[in-house]
């Protein structure tokens, strides 16, 4: 049966990449992408619709396009990118609107995939070494982004319960590194000296960005319900992560670390609360459930870091990791719809 | 002294790694340094002597259970050092989560084989990775007792160690230690300070009284004798959601009684605290 897919956050790093991956599937009939800003990757046949932050037009789009699958890649997990207010609008209100649209009477939606983060487990000294999907976090969420993700997940649980006919997948991704993605961690690893907390050398677990895209594609294809941790095998100490990137560490004091980190923000080194917790205690998640469901990882945690370090070295030598792409509405429209463009029927899947 | 590598199945090699810190934070390299540093203490200071080492399984998971004593307990490093040098299998020592929150100490403890005492951690180590895991069921109640209560075993928690062994399908191997009580005896405790610092106890030890500040860390050279008791296997299927609570409590109490009797017997045969 041909699939009709809606991707939220098309302009975000993940939305664009997932859309690119799905374009290669012949059984995906249409792909509609929503975002507040334009996609940053070249797309062949994905239709882009501009939305406001809280996705209030979503129910109209779902009704008009009759999509059967919604991929929710729009959740903000990097709190340094947006303000507190925006974060709440986008994560909590955006998801509420999305679930309302998907669960409306007569809705065509049969599958919802949500990209969340292992941030929901938090990071504290009382943590088990490995979190399994059903294990609760220790203590209440401390940072804004963690609170919003916990809230989003509870809405999603209610939605899954109320709509048993919809396949709901919740993917919790470990810290992502890779060729293109920019996060507070990848930024910290490119500083001349990498910050750490004196006396702590916590274990980190990573997932490579290609594995993230592949995992979303995988659950979309096979229709896998449930909650899954997505993280590479193994964990490695922060000191080793820095060493792989060829960097030395600069210790921050173990007491009043927040105060010490605050002036760094002025130097454009943002270390949000959740990252400071991680630099102290680390986090590990059990990735075996997703493997048992049939997914194979391309990278281990250490392999992902090596891949990232290689991309950074390439950038230093040639100036960019990949050529930049600029979305231009008119040009895209012209290439897609103008009768003047000669289309090769072999290549064009539309 | 040269110590060859330890036996047991090594974790899958990830050639992308630069260090040998495993997923629990243990580093065999750091362990070897620790063993080299601890060797004189083990051989010459405590003159540790084992009985029944052959009862510790050479393959497969097993939960080592021991009595726990001394303000800074010497039993943990002695057992870990002894088993690793004699049997050449790594030992993961379960300890209170509190360790993780202390700078330097938490990291060092984890590098030399310490793991936070969480049932899930014990289960994964025992069941999935078939390792030796050391646990002290008395916890800080054992180390925090004053000298007049020496060798009187405290309650074994809520029997959690029995439940984990059942779930993981591994035997419990009890180990009794004589000597750790006298290595760093607590003469008094300062409960108000302990409450203020948020730690289980703040001890005043005989070592501090005799050696001053140095005594906070240096144990007395008590003779350490260790005896491994017969492994206890529970005749229950592993991986059950729950096990009979009364059975768990009974088994835990039976192990406690057995260890207590063994301790008394060892003390009956001990002629001197310092020479054994």
Check residue B1 and give its pLDDT.
39
| Residue B17 domain-assigned (yes or no) | no
- Tokens 């990735």 locate to A287
Which residue is closest to B100 within chain A, CA to CA?
A: A125
Using the beta-carbon criterion (under 8 Å), do B103 and A300 form an inter-chain contact? Answer: no
**Cβ contact B14–A305 (<8 Å):** no
Per-residue pLDDT at B3: 45
Judging by beta carbons within 10 Å of its beta carbon (0-12, 13-18, 19+), is residue A325 exposed, middle or buried?
exposed
A291 touches chain B (CB under 8 A): no
| A244 and chain B in contact, CB less than 8 A | yes
B29 Cα to chain A: minimum distance (Å)? 14
pLDDT given at position A41: 84
Asked whether residue B6 is domain-assigned, the answer is no
Instruction: For residue A128, give the nearest of B23, B98, B118 by CB distance.
Output: B118
* Chain B residues with CB-CB distance to A239 below 8 A: 19
pLDDT score for A327: 67
Cβ <8 Å between A305 and B16: yes
Mutation site, A122, A201, A241, A260, interface B, largest B CB count within 10 A: A201
| Regions of chain B where pLDDT drops below 70 | 1-13
Residue B167 makes CB contacts below 8 A (sequence gap 6+) with B123, B127, B238, B239, B240, B243
Residue at A208 is within a domain: yes
Q: What is the pTM of this model?
A: 0.88
Domain assignment present for residue B230? The answer is: yes
A52 touching B (Cβ < 8 Å): no
Task: Give the largest Cα separation in chain B, rounded.
Answer: 55
What stretch of H or E contains B220? none
Tokens for B275?
């020479």
Only one residue has tokens 């509870």, namely A154
Answer whether A248's CB lies under 8 Å from A194's CB: yes
Rounded Cα distance between B276 and B270, Å, is 5
Q: Is residue A214 part of a domain?
A: yes
CB-based contact (8 Å) between A252 and chain B? Answer: no
Best mutation target among B21, B95, B115 (most A Cβ atoms within 10 Å) is B21
Answer yes or no: do B115 and A129 touch at CB < 8 A.
yes
| Minimum CA–CA partner of A255 in chain B | B103
Q: What is the DSSP letter of B13?
A: P
- Residue B232: strand pairing partners: B172
- Residue A348, domain member (yes or no): no
Pick the closest to residue A234 from A300, A303, A290, A309 (CA basis).
A300
Q: Look up residue B227 and give its DSSP letter.
A: E
Residue B84 lies in a domain: yes
How far apart are alpha carbons B134 and B76 in whole angstroms? Answer: 8
B99 CB-near residues (< 8 Å, 6+ apart): B105, B106, B109, B110, B114, B116
Cα separation of B142 and B138, whole Å? 5
The answer to the question of residue A191 being in a domain is yes
pLDDT reported for residue A346? 55
In a domain, A344, yes or no: no
**Residues B20, A236: contact at Cβ < 8 Å?**
no
Q: Can you tell me the distance from the alpha carbon of A88 to that of A53, in angstroms, rounded to the nearest whole number?
A: 10
Q: What is the pLDDT of residue B12?
A: 54
Q: Among B197, B191, B195, B29, which Cα is nearest to B112's? A: B29
Enumerate residues 6+ apart whose C-beta is below 8 A from B189: B144, B146, B201, B202, B203, B204
Q: Is residue B132 part of a domain?
A: yes
Residues contacting A71, CB < 8 A, separation 6+: A5, A6, A7, A8, A15, A18, A113, A115, A216, A220
Q: In degrees, to the nearest 5, what angle opens at C-alpha B114 toward C-alphas B118 and A228?
A: 45
- Tell whether B145 is covered by a domain: yes
Rounded-to-integer distance, Cα B30 and Cα B215, Å: 26
B156-160: long-range contacts at Cβ-Cβ below 8 A with a sequence spacing of 24 or more? B156/B252, B156/B253, B156/B255, B156/B256, B157/B252, B158/B249, B159/B248, B159/B249, B159/B251, B159/B252, B159/B253, B160/B119
Question: Token pair for residue B208?
Answer: 């501090």
A223 SS3 class: coil
Q: CB B105: neighbour CB atoms within 10 A?
A: 14
Which residue stretches of chain A have pLDDT < 50? 348-350
Report the number of distinct structural domains present in chain B: 1
For helices A94-102 and A144-162, the axis angle rounded to 10 degrees is: 10
Identify the CATH number of the domain in which residue B89 sits. Answer: 3.40.1130.10
Output the pLDDT for position A258: 83
Residue A37, domain member (yes or no):
yes
The pLDDT assigned to A344 comes to 64
CA distance A42 to chain B (A): 32
Which CATH number fits the domain that encloses residue A176?
3.40.50.720
Inter-chain contact A197–B103, Cβ cutoff 8 Å? yes
Alpha-carbon distance A180 to A168, whole Å?
28
Question: Is residue A347, in this structure, part of any structural domain at all?
Answer: no
Between chains, do B16 and A254 touch, taking CB under 8 Å as contact?
A: no
- A–B interface: beta-carbon pairs under 8 A: 73
pLDDT at A37: 84
> Domains in chain A: how many in total?
1
Range of the domain at B165: 28-180+222-268
Which of B24, B25, B104, B113 is the best mutation test for A, with the most CBs of A within 10 A?
Answer: B25
**Among partner residues B18, B98, B100, which is closest to A240 by beta-carbon distance?**
B18
B273 in a structural domain: no
Residues 6+ positions from A142 with CB-CB distance below 8 Å: A122, A273, A274, A277
Q: Could you list the residue range(s) of the whole structural domain that residue A268 is in?
A: 3-337
Residue A349 located in a structural domain: no
For residue B16, the chain A residues in CB contact (below 8 A) are 244, 300, 302-303, 305-306
Tell if the CB–CB gap between B18 and A244 is shorter than 8 Å: yes
Contacts of A294 (CB under 8 A, 6+ apart): A218, A222
Q: Which of residues 301-330 of A touch B (CB under 8 A)?
A: 302-303, 305-306
């Amino acid at each position: 049966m041909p699939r009709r897919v809606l991707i939220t956050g098309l302009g975000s790093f993940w939305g664009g990449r997932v859309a690119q991956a799905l374009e290669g599937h012949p059984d995906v009939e249409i792909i509609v992408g929503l975002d507040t800003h334009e996609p940053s990757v070249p797309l062949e046949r994905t239709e882009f619709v501009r939305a406001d932050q809280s996705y209030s037009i979503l129910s109209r789009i779902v009704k008009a396009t009759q999509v059967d699958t919604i991929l929710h890649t729009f959740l903000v997990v990097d709190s340094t990118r947006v303000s507190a207010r925006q974060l709440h609008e986008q994560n909590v209100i955006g998801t509420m609107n999305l679930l309302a649209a998907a669960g409306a009477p007569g809705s065509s939606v049969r599958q919802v995939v949500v990209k969340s983060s292992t941030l929901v487990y938090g990071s504290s000294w009382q943590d088990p070494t490995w979190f399994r999907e059903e294990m609760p976090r220790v203590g209440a969420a401390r940072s804004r982004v963690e609170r919003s993700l916990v809230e989003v997940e509870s809405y999603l649980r209610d939605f899954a319960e109320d709509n048993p006919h919809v396949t709901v997948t919740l993917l919790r991704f470990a810290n992502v590194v890779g060729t293109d993605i920019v996060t507070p961690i990848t930024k910290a690893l490119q500083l001349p000296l990498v910050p750490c907390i004196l006396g702590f050398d916590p274990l980190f677990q990573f997932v490579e960005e290609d594995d993230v895209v592949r995992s979303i594609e995988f659950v979309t294809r096979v229709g896998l319900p449930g909650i899954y941790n997505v993280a590479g095998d193994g964990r490695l100490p922060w000191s080793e992560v820095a060493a792989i990137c060829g960097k030395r560490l600069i210790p921050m004091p173990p007491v009043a670390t927040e105060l010490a980190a605050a002036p760094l923000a002025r130097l454009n080194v943002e270390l949000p609360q959740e990252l400071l917790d991680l630099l102290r205690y680390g986090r590990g998640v059990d990735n075996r459930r997703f493997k048992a469901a049939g997914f194979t990882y391309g990278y281990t945690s250490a392999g992902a870091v090596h891949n990232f370090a290689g991309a950074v070295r390439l950038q230093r030598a040639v100036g960019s990791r990949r050529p930049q792409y600029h979305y231009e509405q008119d040009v895209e429209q012209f290439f897609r719809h103008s009768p003047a463009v000669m289309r090769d029927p072999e290549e064009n899947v539309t | 002294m040269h110590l060859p590598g330890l036996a047991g199945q090594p974790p899958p090699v990830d050639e992308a790694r630069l260090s040998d810190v495993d997923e629990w934070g243990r580093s065999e390299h750091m362990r070897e340094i620790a063993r080299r540093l601890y060797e004189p203490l083990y051989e010459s200071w405590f003159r540790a002597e084992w009985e029944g080492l052959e009862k510790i399984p050479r393959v497969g998971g097993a939960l080592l259970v021991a009595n726990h004593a001394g303000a800074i307990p010497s039993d943990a490093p002695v057992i870990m050092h002894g088993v690793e040098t004699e049997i050449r299998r790594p030992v993961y020592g379960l300890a209170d989560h509190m360790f993780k929150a202390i700078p330097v100490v938490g990291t060092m403890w984890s590098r030399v084989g310490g793991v936070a005492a969480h049932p899930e951690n014990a289960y994964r180590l025992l069941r999935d990775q078939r390792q030796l895991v050391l646990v002290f069921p008395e916890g800080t109640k054992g180390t925090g007792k004053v000298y007049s209560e020496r060798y009187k075993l405290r309650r074994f928690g809520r029997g959690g160690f029995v439940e984990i062994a059942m779930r993981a399908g591994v035997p419990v191997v009890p180990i009794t230690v004589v000597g750790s009580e006298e290595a760093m005896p607590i003469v008094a405790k300062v409960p108000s300070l302990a409450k203020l610092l948020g730690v289980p106890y703040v001890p005043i030890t005989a070592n501090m009284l005799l050696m001053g500040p140095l005594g906070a860390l240096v144990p007395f050279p008590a003779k350490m004798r260790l005896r491994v008791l017969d492994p206890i296997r529970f005749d229950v299927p592993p991986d059950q959601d729950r096990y009979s609570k009364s059975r768990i409590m009974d088994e835990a109490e039976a192990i406690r009684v057995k260890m207590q009797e063994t301790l008394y017997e060892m003390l009956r045969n001990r002629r001197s605290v310092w020479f054994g």
